[in-house]
Amino acid sequence: MRPKISVIGAGHVGAEVALHTAMRDVGDVVLVDIVEGLPQGKALDMFEAAPLLGYSVRVTGTNSYDDIRDSDVVVITAGVARKPGMSREDLLLTNFRIIRSISEQVKEKAPNAIVILVTNPLDAMVYTAYRVLGFPRERVMGMAGALDSTRFRAFIAMELDVSPRDVTAMVLGTHGDLMVPLPRFASVGGIPITELIPEKRIEEIVERTRKGGGEIVALLKTGSAYYAPGTAAADMVEAVVRDLHRVMPASVWLQGEYGIQDVFVGVPVVLGSEGIHKILDLPLQDHELADLQRSAEHVRELQREVDELFEREG
């Protein structure tokens, strides 16, 4: 029997996750949404593309959470997208209710799944799901650094006019303006970018990375990014299902790593069949560690707001 991957939320991001997961041929994909006909139509369209794209897995759409039963991986993309001028924190209340409701369904129908959150504000939504699910920390994570790192890589490739495939980079911290790009760990074909790009220009690329999501929101005017987020999430799914032991950043529940306790924040992990196999504790310089801890404190404030919502809403 093939692995089963359920993607909850059939909007732009969810559809991209479903398509790119199917294209990797890692398992059958179930696309779930509350809007009648939406997941069914998109799933049918994707499967009709299978003869052209060369994948053999099934893609189906449904409005029933019963169809996520016994999923190996669940990706949650459902929620309200950011609009121009709206911060991720502004999304907190609406998306809290959505993620809490979905997590209750996942806990009941797919109790052994590895769960990957994509919904913003990301770190707070992972915390919301974690509280509801009660799963081990290895099986609940957020897709943050995987996306932020690919943006950083893309901007470096633009600057140097090189293939993005040859660029490696790492972004830690919250999925927001306090994320922590690490130029010291970025390279092109093994050459540190500090040898290729002037320091001032690197600082500008770092700042553009921090504002990467907002830049796309401003350009689109209605809606937010979905190609890169969907592909990044599919990368995480493939790493889990194929047990690839990929090293990538993810928002995880820290228990003392980097001197941070009881906070979801992005750090490098090893992803495989059990979810998070290992958290990599990098030897950060003092200013890098301070930035990461400041980022974590921002998330801690959001988690306190989530705790208050749990108390207020029962």
Q: Which residues are catalytic?
A: 175
221: left (phi over 0), alpha (psi -120 to 50) or beta: left
Q: How many CB atoms lie within 10 A of CB 260?
A: 21
Cα–Cα distances in Å, from 171 out to 64, 146, 183, 256?
36, 8, 9, 19
Backbone angles phi, psi at 153, to 5 degrees: -60, -45
40 burial type by CB count under 10 A (0-12 exposed, 13-18 middle, 19+ buried): middle
Closest CA to 262 of 79, 157, 126: 126
| DSSP 8-state assignment for residue 136 | -
Give the position of tokens 């799933």.
Answer: 43
3-state secondary structure 12-52: HHHHHHHHHHHHCCCCEEEEECCCCCHHHHHHHHHHHCHHH
